[in-house]
Structure 1
């Protein structure tokens, strides 16, 4: 009895192994090499690779799947992207059926003697097979004549990018394939039902993130006929951290630095001019570097709006000092003094007007302005109906003060204090509106069919 227990256990193990081999669909039978050679010779006897399967009859169905293990780089200047993948095609060739319970695993040498689909990628710009140490291709033939042809490719394809929202943009890069010679009468392409596309979730790109994909089937109409197409859309989202660090933060700091001139005394002209010119030139340099990696576009991008506004702020700070210095000259100081006297006279006018109503008399106001070496005097009569003493002064005979009085109203001190508040306040409002709009409102997420895990 003791000797029979190991024997029974061995028989059970053999039965289990045979049953598992049937479930997996793989034959566990080892066929001698001589038999495989005879089988291949018999399959190739009378086989014409120039003719597709079912030539002259029903079109053949080709199931396609992709395993993408590398993605990038993505080059905006050339509007292209690169990826590495295992490209797989499956179809049925009745001429290759055989009776032996075996699956033939062959290399690319055998594929050159059989008919294979002439699949090509429409938007491909460059592609290559991997041939180290030999051409990376696999050909598998099942007993029912079903073939699996897999090859390793590195491909660079064109991608029409819309960069209006750069660097907040999300791109949809398309890849389209079809047969070059066979129209829908001869070939139909389909995505493999189980696992048409698989993208390695460990893929990492410097500026982009592969957010998902979607697949589609299409029939294209050309002059020579209708052709079956397969389309895959890759959805890429740009990571803006690089541009925040390299562009947005430095440009914002330059704008803030330009406001320092508002607290520098107006008499320190070299310091304020040097600060204003430096900030303007620095912003010009940042604007030039921000678009160096992009193509020459005819439309404005989101980053151009931000940098343009920052450039306006630093330039406005420089112009503000120029205006302050111009209106701070002695002649304008005299004009402002005249306005103050006119306003004080207007207050006296009210009292004179009240006395005039009781006494029935009018009041005369004499204004004296020193302009350089000349002393100009003018007399303005205040009538009962006068509403503004300044208007009478402008219409008087004091011709040299006329132009200056019309240009007054720009107080250097008050303007400087207003600039200290208005510049930061408006810039903060612009920043809030800009980031809210481009982060949450400007674009919507694409309809992604396949989400990376």
Structure 2
């Protein structure tokens, strides 16, 4: 009689161990053939809620997605899938990617981790956080800013982990809730180069939010009133130098009004150590107002010393030189 031989099928983990991962698996990276682990990183912008150009920070609401493959978690290797398991990030090996420029402790609104039958791990985290970014404000209030979310892994070098930018399948709208700004574009930037810490190098990827300031608020509330003050000073050139009293009154009133306006305006301008376009407009407008005051002092002196015709000629030339200089200032600071 032939002996029957029963072939042993792969044993599946029992219910208690089906979702248990050995310590060596979540401790060591799944490096195969000496190649680094490719970690796909995608960021979905939900909202940009705050931009502070004084502190040079911005606050965002984003979903961060990481995807990598760990063959040790595949169904063929384990004899079972993790599809029905509730796993956390600490239960599996992960690339430990962290933000570099986060300013405050971020708020986690939700997270999820999935492992499919092939061992592909997908981790998503919904966070709100404030990030620091370098602002370039020379073109203020017509500036465009590149707000960067900088991400890197300091636990694994370039030979172990390589971060690869990956776009979300879902696309959020371009509308943002922060007032006075509009979104132009967002894209990953993998060309920033690695971070060097001593002899080690770590992969870094930036996610760039390109935003443009809407200048309407500054034009209506600051530039227009400033223009009225400068034009008020211009009116002294149209008064007869014989009436030097009203001329001096208008010129000094313009100067005092300008000083009070600048005191109120200063708290609304970004505190930077260089001149912005609006700063240049304010500076040259101030010069024009005080030039008008100086002109009145000179012509009033001429009028008192029987040189009235000379004073009138100075006013006749000055009124067109003044308005021409104002036009040039406006063009150089606001139009160019």
Return the TM-score normalized by structure 1.
0.64
Counterpart contact for 1:64–1:196, Cα < 8 Å: no
Larger CA Rg, structure 1 vs 2:
1
Counterpart contact for 1:106–1:138, Cα < 8 Å: no
Question: For the residues of structure 2 that align with 1:105 and 1:97, how far apart are their CA atoms?
Answer: 13
Matches within 5 A, 1:204-353: 204-217=177-190, 218-266=193-241, 268-329=243-304, 332-333=305-306
Gaps of 5+ in 2: 1-11
Q: Which residue of 2 aligns with 1:153?
A: 127
More moved, 299-308 vs 205-214: 205-214
Q: CA separation of 1:251/1:80 partners in 2, compared to 1, >3 Å: closer, same or farther?
A: same
Shift of 1:294: 4.4
Q: CA RMSD for the aligned pairs?
A: 2.9
Question: For the residues of structure 2 that align with 1:40 and 1:239, how far apart are their CA atoms?
Answer: 59
Q: Deviations over 1:27-63 (max 9, x none)?
A: xxxxxxxxx9945723415344651332696432211
Counterpart contact for 2:31–2:37, Cα < 8 Å: no
Shift of 1:224: 4.3
Q: Does 1:119 align with 2:97?
A: yes
Counterpart contact for 2:226–2:258, Cα < 8 Å: yes
Return the TM-score normalized by structure 2.
0.84
Question: For the residues of structure 1 that align with 2:267 and 2:59, how far apart are their CA atoms?
Answer: 21
Q: Deviations over 1:63-107 (max 9, x none)?
A: 111110111311111111111101111111223222689772665
Q: 1:52 aligns with which of 22, 28, 31?
A: 28
Counterpart contact for 1:167–1:302, Cα < 8 Å: yes
Q: CA separation of 1:431/1:53 partners in 2, compared to 1, >3 Å: closer, same or farther?
A: closer
Q: Which residue of 2 aligns with 1:413?
A: 312
Counterpart contact for 1:105–1:138, Cα < 8 Å: no
Q: CA separation of 1:202/1:301 partners in 2, compared to 1, >3 Å: closer, same or farther?
A: closer
Counterpart contact for 1:86–1:152, Cα < 8 Å: yes
Count, aligned residues? 320
More moved, 257-266 vs 64-73: 257-266
Counterpart contact for 2:278–2:333, Cα < 8 Å: no
Question: For the residues of structure 1 that align with 2:85 and 2:44, how far apart are their CA atoms?
Answer: 20
Q: Deviations over 1:382-414 (max 9, x none)?
A: xxxxxxxxxxxxxxxxxxxxxxxxxxx971122
Counterpart contact for 1:219–1:226, Cα < 8 Å: yes
Q: CA separation of 1:106/1:42 partners in 2, compared to 1, >3 Å: closer, same or farther?
A: closer
Q: Which residue of 2 aligns with 1:21?
A: none
Q: Which residue of 1 aligns with 2:176?
A: 203
Counterpart contact for 1:76–1:293, Cα < 8 Å: no
Question: For the residues of structure 1 that align with 2:88 and 2:42, how far apart are their CA atoms?
Answer: 21
Shift of 1:428: 2.6
